[in-house]
Amino acid sequence: MVRPLTVSGVTANVAVTVLATPPPTVQFTYVSPSRRSNAADQARYQAILDSLANDARFSWIPAVDRQAYASELALYQTGMRTQAYFEPQDGTPYPGNSQSAIDERASQVRELVARVGEFYSYHTQRSIYLAPLQVVRLEQSALHYWTPMIWSPTNVDRNPIVNSITTELRRRGYKSPNPNPTRSDTIHVYIMDGGGGWAGAWMWENFGGQAAIGDVSACLSRPDIPGVEPAGARARWPGHIQTSWVTCTYNLALGTVVHELGHSFGLPHPVDFQCAGLGEALVMQSHWNADIQSPGFFKPIAGVGTNIGIMKQWDAGLCKPTDLTKGYPVGIGTPSRPNARYRSELEILLDNPHFRRNP
């Protein structure tokens, strides 16, 4: 359409592009608990985990998961004696306890989100639409959101922190995943204080999806030294982060978020689809190699051509497949395109409507 525009008394006709439908959106939300856990939180958590681990009514839960509940309970009982299991280990409160603290952390998360967008734009030469960051001071403690819900002996919430946060966001009127995700093309990404280093992601049928990443916000204060942990950053993690190989660096935070969002775009782990040979060169396998000081925000890897960060093209010699009858050698689908035969990560991204051609 053509719309008249008046500037300094001069009227001109300006062409305005009107989109029939809004573009697919990636919505990041930064959430932070507003209080420490209390005795009531602790009693509720211990009772539910104890039931899941030991009550015969839950015998339908796979043995490996029941063992995980028992192990989690043992870790929790040990950690809570120091009051550091679901709270920052150095005794400081979560940023959500203070508006000024959450504002400061939110500005760092916004910068991280912008760099996530830059990573994908660099490697695809296309743009994605990142909605303005939502910042939410949650109403409860981290332990409250981690407590599994038991609706009946045969219906147990297996993903408590993401589902309980989603329920609260929806109740309070914030943007949140559609209750029927097959109808939505929006991807929601939670950056969760108190998430304990947990990360996961899903792609749904209509190019929508969800990703969640715990406790990366504590690692964002020093992008000028992105491969080094800022002083005291690890101590601001809660005790339920397993730190044997995880570092609290800006680069790892960036790589983790890019990796999980990649799953919501439909990207699998390449090693699971006959491309183990490029593992160190691809963010979907080695997100710890992200580096904001390198081109494309990924460390240079010798001998892989353009297949750095994102697999640009299938190469049997580089991917070293063990079975040419499945995976990338024959092409793979995604939850949104189950019948597709994609031969590279770049093909998956370029066929996703979240990626639009640059003008």
Examine the pLDDT at 182 and tell me if it is beyond 50.
yes
Mind listing the pLDDT tens digit for each residue in 76-114?
888 777 667 888 988 889 999 999 999 999 999 999 999
The domain segmentation of the chain, as residue ranges, is 26-265, 268-352
**What 3-state class would DSSP assign to 195?**
coil
- ∠279-208-32 over CA atoms, to 5°? 85
- What sign has the CA pseudo-torsion 92, 258, 352, 330? negative
Q: By the 8 A CB rule, do 217 and 191 touch? A: yes
Give the position of tokens 């029927």. Answer: 180
Examine the pLDDT at 229 and tell me if it is beyond 80.
yes
Give the position of tokens 């015998």. Answer: 59
> Residue range 349-358: average pLDDT?
91
Examine the pLDDT at 20 and tell me if it is beyond 70.
no
Q: Which two tokens stand for residue 184?
A: 């939505």
Q: Cα dist. 159→127, 165, 226, 349 in Å?
A: 31, 10, 31, 27
Q: Which two tokens stand for residue 334?
A: 């995604």
Examine the pLDDT at 13 and tell me if it is beyond 60.
no
Q: Which two tokens stand for residue 350?
A: 């370029």
Examine the pLDDT at 205 and tell me if it is beyond 50.
yes
**How many CB atoms are closer than 10 A to CB 180?**
8
Examine the pLDDT at 7 and tell me if it is beyond 70.
no
Examine the pLDDT at 171 and tell me if it is beyond 60.
yes
d(CA 25, CA 208): 9
List the alpha helices (DSSP H) in 61-159: 63-80, 99-124, 142-146
d(CA 33, CA 35): 6
d(CA 77, CA 47): 12
List the alpha helices (DSSP H) in 265-358: 316-319, 345-350
Mind listing the pLDDT tens digit for each residue in 107-166?
999 999 999 999 999 999 999 999 999 999 999 999 999 998 888 888 888 788 999 999
d(CA 41, CA 56): 24
The letter for the amino acid at 15 is: A
Q: By the 8 A CB rule, do 187 and 211 touch? A: yes
> For the chain, how big is the Rg over CA atoms in Å?
22
